[in-house]
Amino acid sequence: MLKLVSILLHISVVLSAQSNVLQFENLGFDGTYWSVASMKDLYSDKCTCELDDDKTSFSGTNAPLNEEVSVHFRGPLVLNKFAYYVSSSFAIDGDDNQDWERLSYYDSSSQTSENVTFLTKAGKNSTCLGVGLTYADTDGISKSDSSQILAEDTLIKSEEEFVIFSNISCGSSKVGGDCQVYRDDIPAYHGFYGTTKMFLFEFKMPEEDSVEKGSVYNWNMPAIWLLNAQIPRTSQYSLNSNCSCWASGCGEFDIFEVKNYTDSDVDKLFATIHDYQGTGYINEGIQIDSYIERNYDETMKGGVVFDNDGNAIVFVSNSTTFDQSIGADDINSVIKALGSASTLELSSVEPVSTSTAGGSSASSSKDSSGSIANVSTWMITLFTFLLF
């Protein structure tokens, strides 16, 4: 018993460890989710959403996060640089790697932008979809009538958000269309495709000094995350789980997220996946228990690499570069130089007991304890620990 207690103590030390590399392994599984089929009466009390009768199936490496994703930012945050890359073949431990080619780019200081569209929640407020997306003005949060890029050093405050999509417009909104069904009063763009893709950021997450504590829910809790691009095009924050594919697990990947403003957590950036791989609890998701330190005063650089072996590697490194092309070996050595990663190997399946849980039941999972997922998380951490 004492031995168990001491092992558990060791685990809790490992659980709260600071790291510069957080790595999910075995990412991707065979599953299904429901896309939205229709949205009606957006601005009346009769507002309704319906999911497609046919499930959308996904499978393979990094699925469903191999689908197109949009990139989301919450303040307090300054985005200095953003870049999106693809590679035809890259594995973090592989030896047949191809270079990364940059397909999208934004640089605040030179006011350069390639293949990006900044959107924000400044549209009309629908009864069941919430506030719609519009083009973001140069401050990141006001409505613009056309695509703009953020002004140099734009600081968004707590709770404020903007999103980056590609500059490729969606075809018509319909089931089976290139962007599926989307809210018809938004500028709708494609997200960023790829099984093997990489997002790099240069950013600041300064202390909140202008919004009063307690006045907003996500006070002093900056974040950078990815959503299946269908989600924001229908509804990001609807309480009605039929208004987006999120609740049925089309995918969210939190790259750098402060999850609580308490003193012990406000400087910790966690990485979390929200889908049903190895968990039945979409709200909690699966989090790597180690964290990256939030640096208030310095510019941070880093990002996430999705490789073709099912690894998703979140890292911060001052050696991060944003060149048009980045050598496979260069990325590998940037990451390797950071020391050993805190890893979490995902289970290959969704739990049987919840595999039939669709959008409608998922919204009630918020209060569930998630104990099964946590036990396996602990065991994996324990194995990692004992191996050292």
Ligand X SMILES: *[C@@H]1O[C@H](CO)[C@@H](O)[C@H](O)[C@H]1NC(C)=O
Give which of 145, 156, 12, 152 is closest to 75, Cα–Cα.
156
**C-alpha span between 373 and 158 (Å, rounded):** 31
Select 94 or 216, whichever has its Cβ closest to ligand X.
Answer: 216
Smallest gap from residue 128 Cβ to ligand X (A):
8
Cis preceding linkage at 222, omega within 30: no
In the set 190, 204, 274, 294, which binds ligand X (CB under 6 A)?
190
* Three-state SS letters, 239-299: CCHHHCCCCCCCCEEEEEECCCCCCCCCCEEEEEEECCCCCCCCCCCEECCCEEECCCCCC
Contact call for residue 287 and ligand X (CB under 6 A): yes
Sign of the Cα torsion 350, 355, 357, 359 reads positive
Which residues does residue 269 pair with via DSSP β-bridges, in sequence order?
A: 292
Is residue 195 near ligand X by the rule CB under 6 A? no
Cβ-based nearer residue to ligand X, 94 or 376: 376
Task: Output the smallest distance, CB 266 to ligand X, in A.
Answer: 10
As a 3-state breakdown, the chain gives helix, strand, coil percent values, each rounded to 5, of: 15, 30, 55
The amino acid present at 43, given as its one-letter code, is: Y
Single out the residue of 108, 230, 242, 290 in contact with ligand X (rule: CB under 6 A). Answer: 242
- Interface segment toward ligand X; rule CB under 6 A; list 59-67, 186-194, 207-215, 306-314: 186-194
Least distance (Å) between residue 26 CB and ligand X: 15
CB of 95 to ligand X, least distance (A): 27
Encoded one letter per residue, x for contact with ligand X by CB under 6 A and - for no contact, window 142-181 reads ------------------------xxx-------------
Q: Does 104 bind ligand X (CB under 6 A)?
A: yes
DSSP H helix total and E strand total for the chain: 5, 26
Provide the sign of the torsion angle of the four alpha carbons 40, 41, 44, 45, taken in this order.
Answer: negative
Per rule CB under 6 A, is residue 316 in the interface with ligand X? yes
* 21-29, 34-42, 123-131, 379-387 -> range binding ligand X (CB under 6 A): 123-131
Residues 325 and 100: their CA atoms lie apart, in Å, by 6
* Least distance CB 92 / ligand X (angstroms): 18
Q: Does an H or E element contain 15, and which?
A: helix 2-15
CB burial of residue 33 (10 Å; 0-12, 13-18, 19+): buried
Binding of residue 374 to ligand X (CB under 6 A):
yes
Q: Does 127 bind ligand X (CB under 6 A)?
A: yes
370 near ligand X, rule: CB under 6 A: yes
**Rule CB under 6 A: which of 57-96 touch ligand X?**
none
Question: Which residues here bind ligand X, judged by CB under 6 A?
Answer: 20, 103-104, 114-115, 125, 127, 131, 166-168, 190, 192-193, 240-242, 260, 262, 284, 286-287, 295, 298, 316-318, 360, 369-371, 373-374, 377
